[in-house]
Amino acid sequence: MIGLSKRFVTCGVLAACIFLGGSVQAQDVEEVIARHVEAKGGASAWEAVTSMRITGSYTAFSIPKPFTLIRKRPCAYYFDHYQGEKRVVVHFDGKTAHWLNPWQGFDWPVKPPREELAVLIQDGSLGTPFLDYPGNGARVEFLGQTDLDGEDALQLRLTRKEGIVEMWYLDANTSLEIARFSKGADFGREVEMTTFFSDFRKVEGLMIPHLVESEFHTRDRMMRVDKVEINVPVEEEIFQRPPVVGMTAIGFMRGHWDVAVEERSSPREEWKESKAAAVIESLVGGALLIERLKTQSGDEVVRSWSYDRFKKNYRVTQLDDVTTHLNVLEGKIEDSALIVSTQKTGTAARLFGQTVQERITMTRVDAKGFGLVRERSFDDGASWFPDLHLDYVKRK
């Protein structure tokens, strides 16, 4: 849930009071929400909450599986659960959401549809969306007392800052939430959803529902809570997009580097030493590394480093201002060394009327940096000779 003071209003998902029909109705709204907040444990108790980890059993498609739900101020949200036999993981940092959802046809993290993002905003609160309601740009209307499945309930219409409209029902006796009627999502389609809250238990002075059931169409979801932990240490990375598959192994390459260069034109020549500087940046959510290397003589080389999750190999493109030829090299990590070559890409250069295959091997990775060795072959890979050594040391 968003916090209880002005420093916690950045997400804009809490309620603000709207005065419809004069001071009597406004007072009714204030009284109803004040009783609700007090029933939940009180504003001061909730203001002291910075994070919450909830674990238990989540049932979807009639199959119960363990789940972990983590919330952190101001409005970060992590939900690791199963829908049927397929694991679904949601990451939301309060601004951007990603999920790993095989039901959507992806086995890597992507941004969810707009309809799913609305659900995240609704479920991102630590406790109740009515805390600190006057300061967040949403609206609340008290619609009076009604009957809900045989129970006396107080009806509230909540319009969040994002325009999301929800009907909330509070128990007329306890002031705790009974149900929420809202827009939900089913495979990216907007649907009408009803969520029921029950089995309230006190956890460190806070009233937490230990059974949450959602119904839409013919489907239903049930979250049964086994354990609630308050103010647990949580790393921010868990709410962000996970590292792109394959890129973790080469992510250390990011940064500014001093590069020692050794090069020669043929196996019979002596090595010539020089220096270069390189900057390697991460782009496209970590899916791509771009390297810009400049030598002492002013020559430039631009490389890209990426991972092909379908072929399960690494791909390096390389373009320099001497040949102005774009090489594409592909390969894998073998015996802890990344080895890529042009042999299977069809992009080998032609020099002096000969086809020149190229191979790059990452030879060293340690606390100081890493090394690259370039080899060339004029007989389609039957034999190779090294003609370039690059030793990268990270700048301090």
Amino acid 13: pLDDT = 35
Q: Which domain holds residue 151?
A: 6-239
For residues 235 and 253, membership in a common domain is answered with no
Mean pLDDT over the full length of the chain: 87
For residues 63 and 155, membership in a common domain is answered with yes
Amino acid 2: pLDDT = 32
Using left for φ > 0, alpha for ψ between -120 and 50, and beta otherwise, residue 118 falls in: alpha
For residues 27 and 144, membership in a common domain is answered with yes
Q: Average pLDDT for residues 122-146, to the nearest whole number?
A: 80
Amino acid 136: pLDDT = 67
Q: In 3D, which of 230, 200, 171, 203 has the Cα closest to residue 35? A: 171
Say whether pLDDT at 133 is over 90: no
Alpha carbon distance 147, 155 (integer Å): 9
For residues 97 and 144, membership in a common domain is answered with yes
Alpha carbon distance 203, 174 (integer Å): 17
Identify whether the C-beta of residue 280 lies closer than 8 Å to the C-beta of residue 291: yes
Q: Average pLDDT for residues 109-137, to the nearest whole number?
A: 76
Alpha carbon distance 2, 176 (integer Å): 19
Comparison of pLDDT for 230 and 6, the residue scoring more: 230
Q: Tell me which of 58-72, 232-246, 268-282 is least confident.
A: 232-246
Amino acid 138: pLDDT = 73
For residues 166 and 278, membership in a common domain is answered with no
Backbone angles phi, psi at 176, to 5 degrees: -85, 155
Backbone angles phi, psi at 231, to 5 degrees: 55, 50
For residues 189 and 275, membership in a common domain is answered with no
Alpha carbon distance 275, 127 (integer Å): 58
Q: Tell me which of 18-27, 191-200, 238-247, 266-275 is least confident.
A: 18-27
Q: Tell me whether residue 1 is in a domain.
A: no
CATH of the domain at 369: 2.40.128.20
Amino acid 3: pLDDT = 34
For residues 335 and 286, membership in a common domain is answered with yes
Question: Which of helix, strand or coil describes residue 46?
Answer: helix
Q: What is the pLDDT of residues 18-47, one digit of tens each?
A: 333 433 344 488 899 999 999 999 999 998
Question: Which of helix, strand or coil describes residue 7?
Answer: helix
Identify whether the C-beta of residue 1 lies closer than 8 Å to the C-beta of residue 15: no
Comparison of pLDDT for 12 and 251, the residue scoring more: 251
Q: Tell me which of 161-175, 179-193, 328-342, 364-378 is least confident.
A: 179-193
Q: Tell me whether residue 303 is in a domain.
A: yes
Identify whether the C-beta of residue 212 lies closer than 8 Å to the C-beta of residue 197: yes
Alpha carbon distance 295, 324 (integer Å): 16
Comparison of pLDDT for 244 and 300, the residue scoring more: 300
Alpha carbon distance 223, 209 (integer Å): 10
Q: Tell me which of 10-19, 76-85, 167-176, 281-290 is least confident.
A: 10-19
For residues 359 and 231, membership in a common domain is answered with no
Q: Which helix (H) or strand (E) holds 25?
A: helix 23-39
Amino acid 80: pLDDT = 96
Q: Tell me whether residue 60 is in a domain.
A: yes
Amino acid 189: pLDDT = 73
Q: In 3D, which of 115, 74, 69, 123 has the Cα closest to residue 94? A: 74
DSSP state of 108: S
| Secondary structure string (H, E, C) spanning 113-153 | CHHHHHHHHHHCCCCCCCCCHHHCCCEEEEEEEEEECCEEE
Alpha carbon distance 325, 349 (integer Å): 7
For residues 277 and 141, membership in a common domain is answered with no
Cis peptide before 74 (omega within 30 of 0): yes
Q: Average pLDDT for residues 134-142, to the nearest whole number?
A: 78
Q: Average pLDDT for residues 294-321, to the nearest whole number?
A: 94
For residues 233 and 274, membership in a common domain is answered with no
Say whether pLDDT at 173 is over 90: yes
- How many domains would you assign to the chain? 2
Domain boundary among 211, 239, 267: 239
Q: Average pLDDT for residues 236-247, to the nearest whole number?
A: 88
Q: Average pLDDT for residues 310-327, to the nearest whole number?
A: 93
Q: Tell me whether residue 138 is in a domain.
A: yes
Q: Tell me whether residue 109 is in a domain.
A: yes
For residues 211 and 276, membership in a common domain is answered with no
Domain boundary among 197, 215, 239: 239
Comparison of pLDDT for 144 and 20, the residue scoring more: 144
Amino acid 362: pLDDT = 95
Residues 6 or more apart in contact with residue 234 via CB below 8 angstroms: 51, 53, 70, 72
Amino acid 381: pLDDT = 92
CATH of the domain at 219: 2.50.20.10
Query: How much of the chain, in percent, has pLDDT values that exceed 90?
Result: 61
What b/e readout covers 59-94, taking b as 16+ CB neighbours within 10 angstroms? Answer: bbeeeebebbbbbbbbbbbbbbbbbeebebbbbbbb
Q: Tell me whether residue 358 is in a domain.
A: yes
Using the structure block, give the residue that is written with the tokens 């979801």.
Answer: 221
Amino acid 162: pLDDT = 76
Alpha carbon distance 46, 56 (integer Å): 22
Identify whether the C-beta of residue 309 lies closer than 8 Å to the C-beta of residue 246: yes
Amino acid 305: pLDDT = 97
For residues 67 and 12, membership in a common domain is answered with yes
